[in-house]
Amino acid sequence: MPEKNQPHALACVIIPTYNEAENIGPLIEAIRRLDPTESLRVIVVDDASADGTDQIVQDCAARLGGIELIRRPAKLGLGTAYVAGFRRAMEHAAHFVLTMDADFSHDPNTIPRLLAALHNQNADVAIGSRYVPGGRTTHWGLHRKILSHTANWLAHRLLGLRARDCTSGFRCYRMTFLQSLDLDAIKTDGYSFLVEILFLCQSRGAAIVEIPIVFRNRNQGVSKISKTEIFKAVSTLWRLSRRRL
């Protein structure tokens, strides 16, 4: 694939947001500092935030360039936000697509390492992993640790996923591989989208690598993981396990 040897190939960073006014401005600035050219673009997919998140993104776009806002009319879910971002990145003919949280749980300075993994290791997907040597989490309570480890254990046992961190949202995809997936076939619209798309990637023979990261719990704003999202995740795991069988 020719883009593997293009150090300045276009990459798009997709950031879903919902009420992230405290974080989104500084995060966008940190990403743009990594590459002041527009070969690293930011696509923010905002689900009708009521706190002015969208206006902050617009202000950053006018001031810094290389930033795009997709406004959605309601809170439509993390999974559909990613798909909307993927499709916009395809329109830009991006070579690589990254996904990350808006709350600084994912260190933007890790982005070059994820891109380098695709360049140097001929991978199709690079995961910013908390559960490989060198990776860890900070400031997590016991409930959050149990939830994360249980979700990964079920993904390994029920779906046969080989990645150590199946629920990390900090990833980099090679666009040519992403285009080979049927994104419309993904049924979940919440956090379990991360497991479902990884299941599809592995099923299609993707070369998947994991890069250790330090995941820091958010300092500003409120976590969006709810009991409803947990129930959706269990339902997704059960549906995919039947599909696997």
Flag whether 2 is in a domain: no
Report the CATH number that the domain containing residue 195 is assigned in CATH: 3.90.550.10
In a domain, 161, yes or no: yes
Is residue 230 assigned to a domain? yes
Q: Which structural domain, as residue segments, surrounds residue 48?
A: 8-244
Rounded CA separation 94/192 (Å): 25
3-state helix, strand and coil shares in percent for the chain, rounded to the nearest 5: 45, 20, 35
Rounded to two decimals, the pTM is: 0.89
What tokens were used for 41?
A: 């673009």
Dihedral sign (CA 26, 20, 197, 183): negative
* Number of domains present in the structure of the chain: 1
Residue 90 located in a structural domain: yes
* 42 part of a folded domain: yes
Domain annotation covers residue 1: no
Place of tokens 């559960």: 131
Region of 202 on the Ramachandran plot (φ > 0 left; ψ -120 to 50 alpha; else beta): alpha
- Determine, yes or no, domain membership for 232: yes
| Residue 138 is assigned to a structural domain of this protein | yes
The tens digit of pLDDT for each residue in 172-215 reads 999 999 999 999 888 888 889 999 999 999 999 999 999 999 99
Read off the pLDDT of residues 214-238 as tens digits, 9 standing for 90 and up.
999 866 655 556 667 676 777 787 7
